[in-house]
Structure 1
Amino acid sequence: MNVFDKIASNWDEEPARVALAHGVASAIAENVPLNNSMKALEYGCGTGLVTLEIARRVREVLAADASEGMLSVLKEKIARFGVKNIFPLFTDLTKTGPLDGGFDLIYTSMTLHHILDFAGMLKTFRCMLMPGGFMAIADLDLEDGSFHRNGAPIPAHNGFDRSEILTIMGSLGLKDLKAVTAHEMRRAAPDGSVRVYPVFLIVGVLA
């Protein structure tokens, strides 16, 4: 059991997480021309907060995660809401490498900073994209490590410099790159102040 399995059942109870997912899903919809012919993949789908919104706008979503606990919650939602076009998959792409089958859209939200070889993961995403397909990466801007205090799962990276992600995606052949702020998370600091943590969305298309 990994750390995300242990917190999966209560994951959706934090309003800030729900707001973040809505912000990311909205930013994807605003910056990617979603349509009902698209086959999409979300890696690190968690309980499906983002994917449940994206699935309304595409043909199907393969919702992949390395946490069986998170996927269990997603499967309950799929059954409860009668969703027909989300297909959960338990997998760890850091170990398996690319999946078979091309995707028109690959997106991930707040997952990349938990992956040590994030550049390798972006390359894996690139290998699974169809020509003309979109990659959409949402994650934390570079921060001082305070975001994951208070018992949150320890990350591999304290966010990212947007320019680094843009450079890597460009080197993989993605074009028309753009970066926007998808959401801003606010958390109380030990001194009583409120810290703001921007979450970016970077989008590119495979020429």
Structure 2
Amino acid sequence: MGNTDKFEMIANMYDTPERIQIAKVSSAAIREYLVDATSKHAIDFGCGTGLVGMNLLNEFHSMLFLDTSPNMIHQIKQKISDFHIQHADTLCFDFEKEGLSELRADYIFMAQVLLHIPDVEFVLSRLFDVLNEGGHLLIVDFDKNEHIVSDIVHNGFHQEELTDLMTRIGYRDIQSKTFYTGSKLFMNQDASMFILDAQK
């Protein structure tokens, strides 16, 4: 997945107060879209150090923390061990490089992950295959921001364009909204974040 090497270097100092706060806000936004999730299996896709997934652990029957960075996975493994969490697992894996045909989930959420993925359509199609019928993909990311010019990340997304793309893949009942605005939120620029919920 995009920028793995960068995340490898910052894994052990990733949990800053700012990131912890944004994770709380993102988790709360995701929580609003969960229905009867306590019997469901979830994947925190591109989990990083698990900041969002850890906030949502009690909502699900089980959770898989998935990331391409071994150092990030090491951090979340440590948390699972420290807190004696029984219903969580980890997987270090790159969806862009190989398929994982046996992986299944009822809920997949990805918070500030899509902007790091070069081929958005490819990964969203892969995630569609992983979802159980009726399952949900929840995306938290930045609204399109023309002030940001970067070679390494997308400068956010238009919600309508993302909805169109996901409809073509096969997702249905797609809904999205902007839920948070902050200063210096995205590469030192003021920015807003959206949540999108799509069903298989």
Do they superpose with TM above 0.5? Answer: yes
Is the CA contact 1:140–1:199 (under 8 Å) kept in the aligned structure 2? yes
RMSD, matched Cα: 2.1
Alignment of 1:99-138 (within 5 A): 99-138=101-140
Change (3 A) 1:126 1:75: same
Deviations 1:128-153 (A, max 9, x none): 111110011111111135487xxxxx
Change (3 A) 1:188 1:178: closer
Q: Is 1:155 the counterpart of 2:152 in the alignment?
A: yes
- Contact 2:185 / 2:191 at 8 angstroms: preserved in 1? no
Aligned to 2:34: 32
Partner of residue 187, structure 1: 184
- 2:194 matched to 1:200? yes
Question: Cα deviation per residue 1:95-151 (whole Å; 9 max; x = unaligned)?
Answer: 013441321011111111111101111001001111110011111111135487xxx
What do the CA deviations read for 1:40-68 (whole angstroms, capped 9, x no partner)?
Answer: 11210000001111211001111100011
Rounded to whole Å, the distance in 1 between the matches of 2:54 and 2:149 is 25
| Counterpart Cα distance in 1 of 2:122 and 2:61 | 28
Distance 2:49 2:94 in 1: 16
Does structure 2 conserve the Cα–Cα contact (< 8 Å) formed by 1:106 and 1:129?
A: yes
Amino acid paired to 1:65: D
2:83 and 2:185 map into 1 onto residues whose CA distance is 34
Amino acid at match of 2:196: I
- Alpha-carbon displacement from aligned partner over 1:68-92 (angstroms, at most 9, x marks no partner): 1111111111111111111110001
Give the whole-Å Cα distance in 2 for the aligned partners of 1:156 and 1:25. Answer: 22
* Displacement after TM superposition at 1:181 (Å): 2.2
Residue 166 of structure 2 is aligned to residue 166 of structure 1 = no
1:46 alignment counterpart: 48
Contact 1:98 1:127 in 2 (8 A): no
Distance in 2 (alpha carbons) for counterparts of 1:17 and 1:106: 20
Contact 2:147–2:189 at 8 Å: present in 1 too? no
Divergent runs of 4+, >4 A = none
Query: For the Cα contact (< 8 Å) 2:107–2:135, is it kept in 1?
Result: yes
Q: Which deviates further from its counterpart, 138-147 or 28-37?
A: 138-147
TM-score (norm 1): 0.87
Task: Spell out the pairing of 1:80-99 with structure 2 (5 A cutoff).
Answer: 80-99=82-101
Number of residue pairs matched by the alignment: 196
After superposition, the Cα gap between the structure-2 partners of 1:175 and 1:186, relative to the gap in structure 1 and judged at 3 Å, is same
